[in-house]
Amino acid sequence: MTKAINVAMLGYGFMGKAHSNAYAKLAHFFPELEHRPKLKVLCGRNEVKARAFAETWGYESVETDWRKVIERDDVDLIDIGTPNNTHAEIAIAAAKAGKWVACEKPLAMNSAEAKAMTQAIQEAGVPNLVWYNYRSVPAIALAHQVVQEKRIGRAFHYRATYLQDWTISEEVPQGGATLWRLDQDTAGSGVTGDLLAHSIDTAMWLNGAITDVVACTETFVKERMHQETGQVQPVLIDDACMFLARFSNGSMGTFESTRYARGRKNFNTFELNGADGSLSFNLEDPQYLSFYEHTRQDTQSKVEDHLTGWRKIHVTNFEHPYMDHWWVPGCTIGYEHTFVNTLADFFEAVENGKRPRPDFEDAWQTQKVCDAVLLSAKEQRWVETGVDA
Ligand SMILES: NC(=O)c1ccc[n+]([C@@H]2O[C@H](COP(=O)([O-])OP(=O)(O)OC[C@H]3O[C@@H](n4cnc5c(N)ncnc54)[C@H](O)[C@@H]3O)[C@@H](O)[C@H]2O)c1
């Protein structure tokens, strides 16, 4: 038996599109799920644009005020695809109204907000999800499986980068549509919350809690024209951030993120080095996971010989995470499919009485690391993250 779940999508930008596509595709590729998302309401502040988007994607109705959406009895799930400074108020109100809540990352502007949001969600006891969708890249999910199978052994090093190049020009304004990422009041932080939050979520999922950090940030372009005021104003976000980390399992990490790496567009990479093996991934080559095996897990024998080397695994076989829901082996999936996979995990967990991951609680832990990174950069010292190990 199937069950309709009425979705209200807040925001019709980049994520509005990615999420709408996921709701539309879910039942086609994961037909075993009981829940069938129905595109009920699209909410955006500009009614003309909201209507056009709603028509393109097949939403039944349009609202211009998210409060009205939450009041509606015909809405089950509120999906927050709006800029970071709006997440807390909307998520708390939605939870209090008993709605299911799916929220974009970073969960909040800071960890105090993330805590309040998580508490509201837990008090309401509503199913919740935070869209750390990179966990649902099949190659990253395979990396998680390899770690769970104990094929890496004792972890020593975790190395992450998240590099882009789109703010190098001093002519790029700050604030307003699509450029809100450069405005501290809307974004909370720069690359730390926008890009490193993804790296931190992936790192803690694969390698456990980050306990301590020491960081360095830089803002290369100090002033930019603000689109909304027309004034040249100081840039208060971090353009680049690097930090060292200690994990609760005794390993060390390095994290680097910038929007000033000429030629790098969405260069999200990680490498994990352990006693028995290593893993390496690059989102600009997303179908592949590289694996180096030093010790065979089944026999515990060392496998170093003249044919030892890195294996570049094309993660498209039926045996690989998610891939039995898509095409035949060798046929790849793309960026948009990670959102479908994330949604499938969410409903699968709800239907089987499991905790959906990543949820608000997970995203709050990531927010604690972001806060610690920014504090460390400001005070130039090591900072404990307070992440629950
Ligand atoms: N998971 C990911 O990989 C990923 C990727 C991109 C963005 N994000 C996150 O998604 C969120 C949105 O980012 P985006 O790139 O889609 O931004 P965007 O600028 O493309 O779209 C934001 C949308 O929110 C709308 N909006 C703003 N304030 C609103 C309000 N008060 N009520 C209703 N609508 C409002 C805007 O009009 C726009 O439609 C951010 O939190 C961002 O960090 C996540």
| 357-385 residue pLDDT tens | 999 999 999 999 999 999 999 999 999 99
> Does the beta carbon of 189 sit less than 6 angstroms from any atom of ligand 1?
no
281 Cα: distance to centroid of ligand 1 (angstroms):
27
Domain(s) labelled CATH 3.40.50.720 in the chain stretch across 3-133
Q: Dig out the tokens for 20 from the structure.
A: 């709408």
> Does the beta carbon of 59 sit less than 6 angstroms from any atom of ligand 1?
no
Write the residue with the smallest CA distance to atom 20 of ligand 1.
13
pLDDT of 308? 85
Superfamily of domain 3-133: NAD(P)-binding Rossmann-like Domain (3.40.50.720)
Q: What is the mean pLDDT of residues 8-16?
A: 98
pLDDT digits (tens, 9 = 90+) for 181-214: 999 999 999 999 999 999 999 999 999 999 999 9
Mutating to test ligand 1, I would choose from 15, 166, 189 the residue with most ligand atoms within 8 A of its C-beta, which is 15
> Does the beta carbon of 13 sit less than 6 angstroms from any atom of ligand 1?
yes
251 Cα: distance to centroid of ligand 1 (angstroms):
35
pLDDT of 307? 81
180 Cα: distance to centroid of ligand 1 (angstroms):
9
- What atom in ligand 1 is closest to the CA of residue 131? 1
- What atom in ligand 1 is closest to the CA of residue 12? 39
Q: Which of 309, 182, 306 is nearest to 237 (CA)?
A: 182
Q: How far is CA 197 from CA 51, 60, 204, 369, in A?
A: 32, 34, 11, 8
pLDDT digits (tens, 9 = 90+) for 317-331: 999 999 999 999 999
Question: What confidence tier does 107 reach under pLDDT thresholds 50, 70, 90?
Answer: very high
> Does the beta carbon of 15 sit less than 6 angstroms from any atom of ligand 1?
yes
pLDDT digits (tens, 9 = 90+) for 22-48: 999 999 999 999 999 999 999 999 999
Cα–Cα distance, 214 to 234 (Å, whole number): 25
279 Cα: distance to centroid of ligand 1 (angstroms):
32
Pairing of strands 155-163, 252-258: parallel
272 Cα: distance to centroid of ligand 1 (angstroms):
31
37 Cα: distance to centroid of ligand 1 (angstroms):
20
pLDDT digits (tens, 9 = 90+) for 113-128: 999 999 999 999 999 9
Question: What confidence tier does 53 reach under pLDDT thresholds 50, 70, 90?
Answer: very high
Question: In the CATH hierarchy, which fold is given to the domain comprising 137-384?
Answer: Dihydrodipicolinate Reductase; domain 2 (3.30.360)
> Does the beta carbon of 105 sit less than 6 angstroms from any atom of ligand 1?
yes
Cβ atoms 186, 175 nearer than 8 A: yes
Mutating to test ligand 1, I would choose from 104, 192, 268 the residue with most ligand atoms within 8 A of its C-beta, which is 104
Compute the mean pLDDT over every residue in the chain, rounded to the nearest whole number.
96
Question: 3-state class of 267 per DSSP?
Answer: strand
Cα–Cα distance, 8 to 38 (Å, whole number): 9
Domain(s) labelled CATH 3.30.360.10 in the chain stretch across 137-384
pLDDT digits (tens, 9 = 90+) for 236-249: 999 999 999 999 99
Q: Dig out the tokens for 181 from the structure.
A: 């990422």
pLDDT of 150? 94
> Does the beta carbon of 178 sit less than 6 angstroms from any atom of ligand 1?
yes
Cβ atoms 136, 341 nearer than 8 A: yes
Report percent pLDDT > 90 for the chain: 94
Q: What is the mean pLDDT of residues 248-275?
A: 98
Strands across the sheet with 288-293, in order?
311-314, 288-293, 277-282, 267-274, 155-163, 252-258, 240-247, 210-218, 383-384
Q: Dig out the tokens for 345 from the structure.
A: 């995990």
> Does the beta carbon of 226 sit less than 6 angstroms from any atom of ligand 1?
no
Please state the separation of Cα 91 from the chain's center in Å.
Answer: 17
> Does the beta carbon of 153 sit less than 6 angstroms from any atom of ligand 1?
no
pLDDT digits (tens, 9 = 90+) for 294-314: 987 777 777 777 888 999 999
> Does the beta carbon of 190 sit less than 6 angstroms from any atom of ligand 1?
no
> Number of helices (H) and strands (E), helices first, in the chain?
11, 17
Q: How far is CA 223 from CA 18, 174, 220, 257, in A?
A: 32, 9, 9, 20
> Does the beta carbon of 133 sit less than 6 angstroms from any atom of ligand 1?
yes
82 Cα: distance to centroid of ligand 1 (angstroms):
3
pLDDT of 177? 82
Q: Which of 166, 162, 164 is nearest to 199 (CA)?
A: 162
What single DSSP character describes residue 104?
A: P
Please state the separation of Cα 235 from the chain's center in Å.
Answer: 25
